[in-house]
Amino acid sequence: MHPDRRFAWDDRAAMRAFVAQAGFGTLFGMTPAGPRVAHVAAIFLDDDRIGFHLARSNALAGHIEHGDALFVVNGPDAYVSPDWYGMDDQVPTWNYVAVELQGRASPMVPDDLSALIDALSQDQERRLAPKPLWTKDKMSDGLADRMLGAVTGYAFAISDWRGTRKLGQNKPEAARAGVADALRLQGKHEMANLMRGTLS
């Protein structure tokens, strides 16, 4: 994460809400063939564990449980032109929000994997209301269970939370406001609103 402490995000509850809202991130781990990455849907199992699944053919499957791994969730981001600060001698940069979770993954037993898949789908389906919820009961008999045989579920115990909210906190308020206005004109409304939130 960014080394400048002005950009550090230390609010655990806010980071947890951010990760939960995203519901998707990038998993990094080591394998005998070197570092590998997977893009996975995830859900909190409790305060300090997330659950996800990998296809058994994924390069990380069978290796992710043998050491620490990282799960990274990226939020809004935006290029920032030096012209937008209204100050001399500035350089281009990129503002962004991200959370990095470090921890260890443990394989799930089949019953826990089935419950994980149900929880993941229900979490996302609820967001589509008023659409009726999809459930695996809509599938042909036995098909869901057969498909579960192609994946491995994991519980990821989080040992460290690291967050960055790089929103121009190292610049004067007037400069941050100028950037926020310019980003809004570029259609980057979410980043503009986040930057506006840093102003007093």
Could you report the per-residue pLDDT of 46-67, keeping only the tens digit for each?
999 999 999 999 999 999 999 9
pTM confidence score: 0.92
Measured CA to CA, the distance from residue 5 to residue 1 in angstroms comes to: 10
Measured CA to CA, the distance from residue 134 to residue 78 in angstroms comes to: 35
Q: Does domain 8-77+95-164 have CATH number 2.40.110.20?
A: no
Determine the average pLDDT of the residues in 13-41: 97
So what's the pLDDT on residue 58? 95
b/e code 107-123 from CB counts within 10 Å (16+ = b)? ebeeeebbebbeebbee
Measured CA to CA, the distance from residue 181 to residue 85 in angstroms comes to: 10
Could you report the per-residue pLDDT of 71-128, keeping only the tens digit for each?
999 999 999 999 999 999 999 999 999 999 999 999 999 889 999 999 999 999 999 9
Q: Are 42 and 54 in contact (CB under 8 A)?
A: no
* Domain coordinates in residue numbering, the chain: 8-77+95-164
Residue type, 197: G
